[in-house]
Amino acid sequence: MTRTEENYIKTIFHLGGNQSQLISTNAIAEQMQTKPSSVTDMAKKLTEKNLLNYIRYQGVSLTDLGIKTALSIIRKHRLWEVFLVKKLDFTWDEVHEVAEQLEHIKSEKLIDKIDELLDFPKYDPHGDPIPSKNGDFQERDKQLLSELKTGNQGICVGVKDTSATFLKFLDKNNIALGNSIQVIEKEDFDMSMRVKVEGRNLQLSNQVSTNLYVKVLESN
Amino acid sequence: MTRTEENYIKTIFHLGGNQSQLISTNAIAEQMQTKPSSVTDMAKKLTEKNLLNYIRYQGVSLTDLGIKTALSIIRKHRLWEVFLVKKLDFTWDEVHEVAEQLEHIKSEKLIDKIDELLDFPKYDPHGDPIPSKNGDFQERDKQLLSELKTGNQGICVGVKDTSATFLKFLDKNNIALGNSIQVIEKEDFDMSMRVKVEGRNLQLSNQVSTNLYVKVLESN
DNA sequence: ACAAATTTTTAGATTTGTCTAAATTTTAAT
DNA sequence: ATTAAAATTTAGACAAATCTAAAAATTTGT
Ligand SMILES: [Mn+2]
Ligand SMILES: [Mn+2]
Ligand SMILES: [Mn+2]
Ligand SMILES: [Mn+2]
């Protein structure tokens, strides 16, 4: 598999192509910063290789082999992200770009050894689950902060927006994964909320609360 | 720079293109498992990019920029090899293939952090020197074992042949870099020699002694 | 139901790196 | 100094991945 092919497979997976749901060439083209006509060409090629199901004018979905392939690439990506943060002191906003390259290194032994070195982590620095060697993984029980009711308490467990700007914003406000968070008050006017993060009071906009995942603690 | 361009530059360096000596397109083609006509095309392109000096029908040499580029790639290659051996328990015959891929990862921060994690190693697992961040490196004072006189004593410091078969042969005979070695007797007939490695007696063929580098200990 | 808007595909061209076969230049041999 | 052999370059073609512009199919609005 070429690097380009791998990137197509990964993108289709992230767009939901595993749920046997059809993904449009337009959606793929937008995500990959390319043109729909290029996607059509690649769709045919990957169908030929039994990685995609492709119905003309309808879209594509991943075959079982395609899903397996996607999970393998995602596993590598997320393990490398953990490695960069835990072993090389990268910050969580720096790792994605480098992991985009490292995920294409072809060596089963390499990634298994990295996994072992990291003591088989379950989640990457952004809270996303890491597929195991055989491809299974459990999505964490989580909700967007914006969905919590006043008074609810939880733990920050992930981010939806993984852009460097958002991650740096969280850093600046001392919000990190693992932190406790409680909703003090919700403002109807702009959907902002006042919260307590590890005891500190903060006012968070709707744009923040709709991009931060929380695991709610059952309060009684 | 593309991965292919980087591989050309690296190959030309290894063929001696730094000594302002001209390297033939044939030699490059053989080394890279490609055709001389392909090399000619690439030579023109890399000359355009100011990485090579190219004289038609004569050959190519590296410019200063080309040498700088080559050293940067070699630095990455060798650091990754050390990483694989020291941190992930790869054997020295397994690392080259993976390092061929890892050397093309583009991130200055990544390789500098790997360097730091390894505590700034001076040599790779095969005894080859690792260029520093600014490109300078000292070739070690070494000789081929075959050049030693009877009675001479030394330390194994490197290999000329880095093929997996040779490296595994050395493993099987418990010869490792850092081991002491003394020439007991040289056989005129087939140029083989009897040696003592860390106290053990071994008979080594000429093919072995012409591929093992030794640092001679001044014996008085 | 049918025209208009949108989406998707096809056709043909481009870039990168490669190849084969033919032409050119250099080197070696007499 | 010619000629033969070897090395090197040129010309033309090809596969991969991409693009633009035009054609075809689908979806939407009334
Ligand atoms: Mn990422
Ligand atoms: Mn991530
Ligand atoms: Mn190597
Ligand atoms: Mn090496």
Nearest-Cα distance to chain A for B17, in Å, is 29
State the pairing for strand pair B212-216/B143-144: antiparallel
| CA A111 to each of CA A75, A114, B52: distance values in angstroms, whole numbers, following the listed order | 9, 5, 36
Interface test with chain A among B2, B113, B115, by most A beta carbons within 10 Å? B113
Q: Which of B139, B104, B159, B142 is nearest to B18 (CA)?
A: B139
Q: How much is the average pLDDT of A127-143?
A: 93
From chain B, pick out residues whose CB is under 8 angstroms from the CB of A107.
Answer: 97-98, 101
Residues of A with CB under 8 A from a CB of B: 84, 87-90, 94, 97-98, 101-102, 105-107, 109-110, 113-114, 117
Report how far residue B82's alpha carbon sits from residue B125's, in angstroms, rounded to the nearest whole number.
6
CA B177 to chain CA centroid, Å, is: 14
Chain B residue numbers touching A114 (CB-CB < 8 A): 88
Residue type, A39: V
Give yes or no for CB of B40 within 7 Å of strand C: no
B135 in Cβ contact with B106 (< 8 Å): no
CATH 2.30.30.90 in chain A: give the residue spans. Answer: 143-217
User: Are the C-beta atoms of residues B105 and A98 closer than 8 Å to each other?
Assistant: yes
| Residue spans in chain A of domains classed CATH 1.10.10.10 | 3-62
Q: pTM of the full predicted structure? A: 0.94
Q: Is CATH 2.30.30.90 the right assignment for the domain spanning A143-217?
A: yes
pLDDT digits (tens), chain B, 220 positions: 999 999 999 999 999 978 778 999 999 999 999 999 999 999 999 999 999 999 999 999 999 999 999 999 999 999 999 999 999 999 999 999 999 999 999 999 999 999 999 999 999 999 999 999 999 988 899 999 999 999 999 999 999 999 999 999 999 999 999 999 999 999 999 999 999 999 999 999 999 999 999 999 976 5
Nearest to A145 by CA among A86, A77, A87, A213: A213
Among B84, B105, B117, select the one facing A101 at the smallest CB separation: B105
Phi, then psi, of B214 in degrees rounded to 5: -135, 140
| pLDDT at position A220 over 70 | no
In this prediction, residue A137 carries a pLDDT of 87
As a CATH number, domain B3-62 is 1.10.10.10
pLDDT at B220: 52
CA distance to partner chain B, nearest, from residue A101 (Å): 6
Give pLDDT, residue B89: 98
Interacting residues of B47 by C-beta distance below 8 A, sequence separation 6+? B53, B54, B60
Q: What is the mean pLDDT of chain A?
A: 96
Q: Tens digits of per-residue pLDDT, A155-200?
A: 999 999 999 999 999 999 999 999 999 999 999 999 999 999 999 9
List A156's β-bridge partners, or say none.
A214
Q: Is A98 close to B110, i.e. CB distance below 8 A?
A: yes
Cβ-contact A219, A153 below 8 angstroms = yes
- Chain A positions touching B102 (Cβ under 8 A) are 105
| B88 closest CB neighbour out of A94, A101, A113 | A113
The pLDDT, as a whole number, for residue B20 is 78
Distance A178 CA to ligand 1 centre (A): 19
Residue pLDDT, tens place only, A39-92: 999 999 999 999 999 999 999 999 999 999 999 999 999 999 999 999 999 999
